Structures are given as structure tokens and as C-alpha cells.
Amino acid sequence: MKNHTGTHALNFALRRVLGEADQRGSLVAPDRLRFDFTAKKAMTPDEINETEKIVQRMIEANYQVYARETPLGLAKEIQGLRAVFDETYPDPVRVLSIGEPVETLTGDPTGPWAVQYSVEFCGGTHLHRSSHIMSIALVTEEAIAKGIRRIVALTGPEALKAHRNAGLIEKEVGDLELKVKSGLEDGSLPFKTATKMIVETGDSLSNSLISQWRKETMRRTLNSLKKSVIDADRAHKTKLAQQVGLVFHTRD
């Protein structure tokens, strides 16, 4: 149920971040959730981060999850309500809201409710409160077809584990950055050794199951660090060549 309610929260967050992001499919598995949506381009790390933060704020708000059978015509009047494209819904239809009673929504269907809270048609089983999701980690965001993107996310203990692992890797990358920069400055770290350390850390990062925005942030750090090593190696070789040329010139 964590992943099902988490899917609704993710759908709401994507609309807040991207504006138009219509659902094109989803999968709720025991260990993760998958959400397909329309988008013209890939999400940036900042957009993924903001989406994750919005869901996390919903979790921390400990919203009650409401569900109520509602006449289809009345339910469709709720401003901003989310429904799956081309889906046929029964009458009455079950309206699910994270944070606001359905009676409030139908009592004032033109109000700002669906802009402030997740409101969808759904007949599935859900948590009683948003805090029961525990946490969320958006681990991948990729294209699956033209104009269609897919997010895979973790919730519950698996999401907490992903965030703990990300913290450990961030420390590893930070320590490596200090070691390489210090070694380049005083000449104590061979260029090949530095490059090997960066590549190994990058491989470990690529294989990790953590939030994609954190992974991309660390990948940029490693790429920048690798460029620093390459530039330092090139400068060192140029200096040696100049010294050799100076020796031969002196002998002549």
C-alpha cells in the first residue's frame, strides 16, 4: 500500500513541478513503484529533487487519506482532479484524496483543493495516512517512448535505505575530492592512481540504488575531479617537455 499511495503523491508532485504531466501507466510492486507520464524532455536533477521534496513534505504532513463513492458527474466537476487518459470510470466512482475530505471537494468543486492536495479516481487499497509512506526515493527517470517518461521510485524502508546509502557515498566522494586535490597540489598522488580511484568510485556510484538527482550531482563532481587530474597530468607533461628542451638547448 505504501507504493500505491506513494504513486498518487508522486503524480501530484509531478504536476506541481512540470505543470502538464499526464499519467500514461503505472505499476505498484511490493518493493517499488513505476510511473509513466507525458513529458517533452528529460527532467533535470533539480526537477527530480523538487519532485522528491514535495512528496516528502506530503509524507511529513501526515495527511489523512480519504476515499468516497461519488456520482461520476459530480466528481468530474472537481477542479484539477486527476484521471488516467482514455480510462472508463464507473458511476458512482471512488474519489481518493490525500489531505482533504471528499465531501469538502464535492461541496465546493471549483475550489483550490486539487491544486493543494492529491485528488484522483481510484478503486484500490491505500494507507490511512500519508506518513505511513515513510519516505520516497526517485531512483530512475528515463524515456520509454517518444514523449513518454518513466520514473521508478522506492518507498518505506527501501527508500530510507537508499537515502542512507546516498549519504555514505556522498561522504566517500567528498573524501576522495579532498584527497585528490591535496595529492595534486603537493605531488604526493600519482595521476594514474588518482584516475583509478575516481573510476572505481564512479563505478560504485553507477551501481548504487539511490535518488537519481543525488547520483547525478555526485557524478558531476567526479567528472570535474577527473578533468582536474587530466589537466594536471597534461600540465606536468608539458613542463617536463619544456625542461627536456631546455637541457638540450643548454647543451647546444
Tell me the pLDDT of the chain averaged across its residues: 91
- Name the pLDDT band for 251 (thresholds 50, 70, 90): low
Whether the pLDDT of residue 246 is over 70: the answer is no
Whether the pLDDT of residue 245 is over 60: the answer is no
How high is the pLDDT of residue 19? Answer: 87
How high is the pLDDT of residue 233? Answer: 79
| DSSP H or E segment with residue 24 | strand 23-28
Whole-angstrom CA distances from 223 to 140, 141, 190 are 20, 21, 18
| Residues facing 140 on adjacent strands | 152
Lowest mean pLDDT, pick from 26-30, 39-43, 142-146, 231-235: 231-235
Whole-angstrom CA distances from 205 to 50, 88, 153, 169, 202 are 21, 43, 17, 7, 5
How high is the pLDDT of residue 112? Answer: 84
How much is the average pLDDT of 104-133? 91
- Name the pLDDT band for 248 (thresholds 50, 70, 90): low
Q: For the chain, how long is the longest CA-to-CA vector?
A: 98
- The whole-angstrom separation of Cα 20 and Cα 80 is 11
Phi, psi of 32 (to 5 degrees): -165, 170
How much is the average pLDDT of 94-115? 91
How much is the average pLDDT of 228-240? 80
How high is the pLDDT of residue 198? Answer: 96
Domains annotated for the chain, with CATH where assigned, are: 2-156 (3.30.980.10), 159-233 (no CATH)
pLDDT digits (tens, 9 = 90+) for 44-90: 999 999 999 999 999 999 999 999 999 999 999 998 888 876 778 99
CB 99 within 8 A of CB 130: yes
pLDDT digits (tens, 9 = 90+) for 8-18: 999 999 999 99
How high is the pLDDT of residue 125? Answer: 86
How high is the pLDDT of residue 44? Answer: 96
How high is the pLDDT of residue 240? Answer: 66
- The whole-angstrom separation of Cα 162 and Cα 172 is 15
Lowest mean pLDDT, pick from 94-103, 135-144, 185-194: 185-194
